[in-house]
């Protein structure tokens, strides 16, 4: 999956984390504080929109690996959206879980180094010898 496709999703997650950390630090309730309530709500909308865009641009029949990865984080994204407007300290761990899963998936989905591919384009295994 291209980094450009992930950017809006990652940006929204980072912005959400930043807002939730500030709200948590100052003990702000998202249910009653006008500024942070709107800010978090609009960032959640951006996050959901970016997630749906990722799903649309990576259909299972064309990108089964990416679609599977998106399916694994979708329940967490839905949970996060549904949690609003709970307390920031309850939402923040979910944001961080999504970030971890998205970063982990991104590392595993990185393109192979061409130097490690054989003439057929397959990953080859280097056998290490143990010298005694």
Domains of the chain: 3-107 (1.20.120)
CA quadruple 97, 44, 2, 61: dihedral sign: positive
* pLDDT tier at 6, thresholds 50, 70, 90: confident
Question: What is the pTM assigned to this prediction?
Answer: 0.74
- Residue 107 has a pLDDT of 55
- So what's the pLDDT on residue 84? 94
Q: What is the pLDDT of residue 131?
A: 46
**Residue in this structure with the two tokens 């939730």, named with its chain if needed:** 20
Assign 6 to helix, strand or coil: helix
Six-digit token pair at 79? 């949970």
């Amino acid at each position: 999956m291209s980094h450009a496709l992930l950017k809006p999703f990652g940006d929204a997650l980072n912005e959400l984390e930043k807002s939730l950390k500030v709200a948590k630090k100052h003990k702000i309730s998202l249910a009653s504080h006008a500024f942070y309530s709107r800010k978090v709500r609009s960032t959640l909308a951006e996050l959901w929109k970016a997630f749906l865009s990722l799903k649309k641009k990576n259909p299972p029949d064309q990108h089964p690996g990416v679609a599977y990865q998106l399916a694994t984080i979708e329940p967490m994204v839905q949970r996060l959206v549904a949690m609003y407007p709970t307390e920031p300290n309850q939402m923040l761990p979910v944001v961080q879980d999504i970030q971890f899963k998205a970063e982990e998936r991104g590392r595993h989905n990185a393109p192979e180094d061409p130097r490690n591919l054989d003439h057929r384009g397959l990953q080859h295994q280097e056998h290490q010898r143990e010298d005694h």
